[in-house]
Structure 1
Amino acid sequence: MKAKIIVPFLFLILAPLLVEAQCAMCRAVLESGEGQDIAEGVNSGIKYLMLFPYLVIGGLLFFIYRKYRHSS
């Protein structure tokens, strides 16, 4: 019973450490003078990943607007 509680708790505590390490690695690659193609690829990937939350929120707002417009 305790293992069912402890294992997820440890995962939640240790997971941010792994994410932070990845960010430092990306920062090191981008700050180095070499590999401008890599830096452009990382920046394009960030833009690509940020596009979808805005599309989802925009789509939801559009459908909500359309629903209330037809109701009135």
Structure 2
Amino acid sequence: MKIFFFFLFSFFFSLSSQAQCAMCRAALESEDGAVKAEAVNDGIVYLMAIPYILVGVLGYVIYKMRYGKKK
């Protein structure tokens, strides 16, 4: 029950942060283009999503190998 309240509390009272590495920030501040900033943010999301996808596929393969052959 404590875990449920922890996740509920974390969901409703999360802190918003906007962070970038120093090189990304310098590149975005030197240019006056919103397109470049959007491209950098899309790249960050892309780089963040790939490990989660790989772990999910690996988990699915392990699950199928372990439990898929029992029929």
> What range is the shorter-chain TM-score in?
0.5 to 0.7
* Structure of higher CA gyration radius: 1
Mind listing any 5+ residue stretches in structure 2 that lack a counterpart? 1-20
Query: Secondary structure in 1 aligned to 2:68?
Result: helix
Indicate the structure whose relative CO is greater, using CA pairs within 8 Å and at least 6 residues apart.
2
1:1-72 equivalent positions in 2, closer than 5 A: 23-30=21-28, 34-72=32-70
Task: Please identify runs of 4+ aligned residues in structure 1 that moved more than 3 A.
Answer: 28-33
Taking structure 2 as the reference length, the TM-score comes to: 0.55
The alignment's C-alpha RMSD in Å is 2.2
Bigger mean CA offset, 24-33 vs 47-56: 24-33
SS at match of 1:45: helix
Q: Which amino acid aligns with 2:43?
A: G
With structure 1 as the length reference, what TM-score do the two structures score?
A: 0.54
Partners of 2:49 and 2:62 in 1: how far apart?
A: 20
